[in-house]
């Protein structure tokens, strides 16, 4: 693994520290009037999502974790695991739901998310900014109920519940923002 110094820090970089695997969210070089320079950082644990504030001496060296991004096709769900296939080697990989966390709300069979891997361990999922999902269940829109901006809850094919406009019906495809989990538009 490559060694890096605090001078090489960039937001989004992943570090392999004794406390675990951390992604660099934010950093600031500080040169006080008295004493040595230091770097104040905000780190996010890749595995648990916990946030940690840590201070390093300027020029301190540490291990950089190389995160491999692999496009994998989601094949099917098997109990409490999801089965993916590598698009290049056709190798199948079974991933527990606990590893995928909130991404399971946006995974439909045939979709190709990018899995973030550290060695053979899956550390996360990169989803596109928006995905198209089919409405599995929603109440019918009431004629004459056309207050501007009125919405109703709709359950999507993955089980995610979002607020949609009244005119949408069961079976229609909608675009959903994967970051805010909100309805964007009709697909």
Q: What is the mean pLDDT of residues 135-143?
A: 83
Chain segment 140-163, per-residue pLDDT in tens: 876 665 666 788 899 999 999 999
Contact in structure between 72 and 84 (CB atoms under 8 Å): yes
pTM: 0.77
In the chain, beta strands by DSSP E: 3-5, 14-17, 20-30, 38-45, 51-57, 61-64, 68-78, 81-86, 92-96, 114-118, 121-126, 130-138, 151-156, 161-165, 173-177, 183-186
**Residue 85: both structure tokens together:** 């296939």
> Residue 136: which region, alpha, beta or left (left: phi > 0; alpha: psi -120 to 50)?
alpha
Which domains are assigned to the chain? 3-64 (2.30.30.30), 68-126 (2.40.50.140), 130-186 (2.40.50.140)
Contact in structure between 117 and 70 (CB atoms under 8 Å): yes
Q: Tell me how far CA of residue 22 lies from CA of 34, 79, 90, in angstroms.
A: 30, 30, 30
Residue for token pair 């995610």: 160
Chain segment 46-75, per-residue pLDDT in tens: 888 889 999 999 889 999 998 899 999 999
């Amino acid at each position: 693994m490559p060694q890096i110094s605090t001078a090489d820090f960039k937001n989004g970089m992943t570090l392999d520290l004794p406390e675990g695997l951390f992604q660099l969210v934010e950093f600031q070089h500080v040169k006080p009037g008295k004493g040595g320079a230091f770097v104040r950082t905000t780190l996010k644990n890749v595995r648990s999502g916990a946030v940690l504030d840590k201070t390093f001496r300027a020029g301190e060296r540490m291990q950089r974790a190389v995160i491999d991004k692999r496009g994998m096709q989601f094949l099917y769900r098997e109990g409490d695991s999801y089965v993916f296939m590598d698009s290049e080697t056709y190798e199948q990989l079974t991933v527990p739901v606990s590893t995928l966390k909130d991404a399971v709300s946006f995974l439909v069979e045939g979709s190709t998310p990018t899995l973030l891997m550290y060695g053979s361990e899956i550390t996360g999922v990169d989803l596109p900014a928006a995905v198209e999902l089919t409405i599995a269940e929603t109440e019918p829109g009431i004629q004459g109920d056309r207050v501007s901006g009125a919405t109703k809850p709709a359950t999507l094919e993955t089980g995610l519940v979002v607020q949609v406009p009244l005119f949408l019906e069961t079976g229609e495809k909608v675009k959903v923002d994967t970051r805010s989990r909100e309805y964007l538009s009709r697909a």
